[in-house]
Structure 1
């Protein structure tokens, strides 16, 4: 049976759903998760077609990507906090409904302003989905199977992010850019109908929702994302400084405001838990590596190794393929072994793979490229599920919403930081920036590996 709760002060036993209902609930969760994750990647591929059709310049059409990303990142923590008050199920289904309707508006957009408006709404809907996604997984799967559930979750996210450009290219090969958004509609409707009948009702907190704090959190994260994006697109130093400084100022004010709150929107109470803080840091490191890799690798293969676009697409395949194999395996192992060990092994493999890619000879054989990419995929897939389980299980059940929001926030911040650093590498050293970005990715992975090991110390001290 699903977990019901009357008061946030009562203990909660997370027992999960019966097997039959669990499968349907997982189908609804992972379908919506794939849709929201894909839309962070596929729009990039369609920008030239959108610009030509809507008569927009490159500097203007890039906002089709930016406004979605900003709206998504800005609303993750506020909507996660709201889910603790009104129920994660309501936030999830409301976000999925808005995302589906906004996808229809995107497909019907007649001008750039109308498309940008629809993309903001789509980003808000995606925020509703991603903010409470892992919280729902925690309540759908019983404790003994939670690692497996988080493994499937990691598989969906990694595959959607990696395969997004390929899927977008396939759709654009047979139809206009509007199909990229219209394809979400039937999947969204099915996920809503299934979710209405199967998703569990999660704990509701006794405290009220802090609207001013939520606005401050949205402003802080939105401005930070905007500033990082401006840096990636080589904007002038003045707007970048203003955006990042404003984000820091609002963040400082938010922390001061909620220092004594039992359930702050920015979960500083959870960051006082060493395992939670360390797991969040390792997550940011891992997704920064992914951002660095998937921005730099196409340039690396084509500009430095002289390979074609078709070959580049082939070379990118082993990463998501091995992630698909390793994520469920690592999820099952996380039900038996500490995340500090599994996560450390995964990040060590990821860092090794990135370093080996950076050291490829001038004319490598196909096999030499493929097995290095496979090592990266193995490490990335091996890390995600154990880390997600450690992060979620280190938070009390009545704070699952905020922990879930932090999972998604760490992922998107890591990807954004990684992509921005890759762009910076290209700006500093030209096409050799691809090699520098791979080396930087190996450094981030090594740092994450060290942080992951610290969780073993934190866990032993807590046990003592």
Structure 2
């Protein structure tokens, strides 16, 4: 096997997933107009994708354990690429949402198995570097998504935000089929009952919280959240009784693994909410276009792109959880600085400087956290644990969106908050100050979430990575 070619394929997969997470956000206003719908419907082009990823990632990793990582990963690339082309051909909003769901199925197979492929192929002393390189793909992809989303939507057509995946996907599929081979395979069966219960629980909680953010509290939304939480204990009971559980609960007894997984969830909530909050500030308060506001965030992505491979190599030398915890403290610091320093007329240079601090923190956290998770995972559960990690990350993305919108609606109507997030509405006068005050509350909430994530990382960081 050609390890460099495998890393290229994995990085391309990460890049595509990152591009499609951010690029759609900037294109939603144009999609809304072109497909003759409303923002609260078109937002499901983004949220439907994230929801399916959250539900299927654990199952997709389990499939990789059973049928082989190469088959699962390459199938994911094929589905993602074909669905991308179909998304571009969509002429109706519900058609686009449906094809995005198919795209998410492919994305789940990609992201849920990527950590496991690295753990299969690379020695423990090399994994941090490999995770750092794939993290580079995520940062480049997120940056490209932000910039290309604005450029393509403004100067070409929103359809091409999906079409650009096709040539990349074809190249990656050919490379993946040639180079990725199965190393570890588990003789087992799919846990259908566990899959159904977990899917019901996550779907109800996610739908309830998303609708809560979009429409405000209703009996229906609260009932969905309540029932979803009630189903979770049934899922746990099912997993403790079946012979081939979807999630082997014994793995959570491994301290390094358990703490690192929870740190991943908390970083997803607090870190991504920071990005959403800044976009809402730049567009709603400062009146910048989606493209201009996103460009102000690029220094952080550039810093993270440069530093991620370096931080991965440092994580290989030992105590990745500690390094991840320090990264969380950098993100925590940026949130506190925004709380005290971000005002209606704050200079843009201030934001540029703080995004650099956030970028350093992200570069330290992600490759180190991935190293900590997969180092402590039993080989027979590489796929499942990789899937669990991605599931928690996707849940964090959804909750970060809920946190951002909920904070924004402390001072403005929810419909206006959506329009501010998507760049089709800007605020003025005293409303801007009240809106900024609401964002300050969200910064503090995010900071609290991040500091707990840092604690989890430090608690799980006492085991050194083996160097042989």
Q: Does 1:270 align with 2:275?
A: no
CA distance in 2, matches of 1:410, 1:180: 26
Which of residues 297, 311, 332 in structure 2 aligns to 1:330? 311
Question: Per-residue displacement from partner, 1:198-241 (whole Å, max 9, x unpaired)?
Answer: 01213111222222222222222222222222222134422222
Relative distance call for 1:60 and 1:371 in structure 2 (3 A) is closer
Contact 1:25–1:140 (CA under 8 A) maintained in structure 2: no
The TM-score normalised by the length of structure 1 is 0.89
Q: 1:449 maps to what in 2? A: 454
Aligned to 2:277: 296
Structure 1 contact 217–266 (Cα < 8 Å) conserved: no
Counting matched residue pairs gives 439
The Cα of 1:61 is off from its aligned counterpart by: 2.0
Task: Between 278-287 and 165-174, report the one with greater CA deviation.
Answer: 165-174
* In the alignment, structure 1 residue 413 sits paired with structure 2 residue 401: no
What CA deviation, in whole Å up to 9, does each residue of 1:354-407 have, x standing for no partner? 111222264444443322221111112111111111011111111000111012
CA distance in 1, matches of 2:252, 2:243: 13
State the match for 2:369 in structure 1. Answer: 387
Deviation at 1:185, TM superposition (A): 0.9
Alpha carbons of structure 1 residues 49 and 303: separation in structure 2 relative to 1, 3 Å: closer
Q: Output the CA distance in 1 between the equivalents of 2:347 and 2:334.
A: 16
CA distance in 2, matches of 1:361, 1:76: 37
Q: Counterpart in 2 of 1:44?
A: 25
Q: Find the counterpart in structure 1 of residue 74 from structure 2.
A: 93
Equivalence for 1:136: 117
Report the Cα distance in structure 2 between the residues aligned to 1:238 and 1:202, rounded to whole angstroms.
50
**How far, CA to CA, are the matches of 1:426 and 1:239 in structure 2?**
22
1:9 corresponds in structure 2 to none
Q: Deviations over 1:31-66 (max 9, x none)?
A: 122112322222222222222222222232222222
Higher RCO (C-alpha under 8 Å, 6+ residues apart): 2
1:218–1:361 Cα change, 3 Å:
closer
Query: Cα distance, 1:89 vs. partner?
Result: 1.3
Shift of 1:259: 0.7
Partner SS for 1:359? helix
- 1:376 is aligned to 358
1:438 maps to 443
1:136/1:200 contact within 8 Å kept = no
| Partner SS for 1:200 | coil
Which stretch has the larger CA shift, 188-197 or 213-222? 213-222
Distance across 2 between alignment mates of 1:206 and 1:190: 31
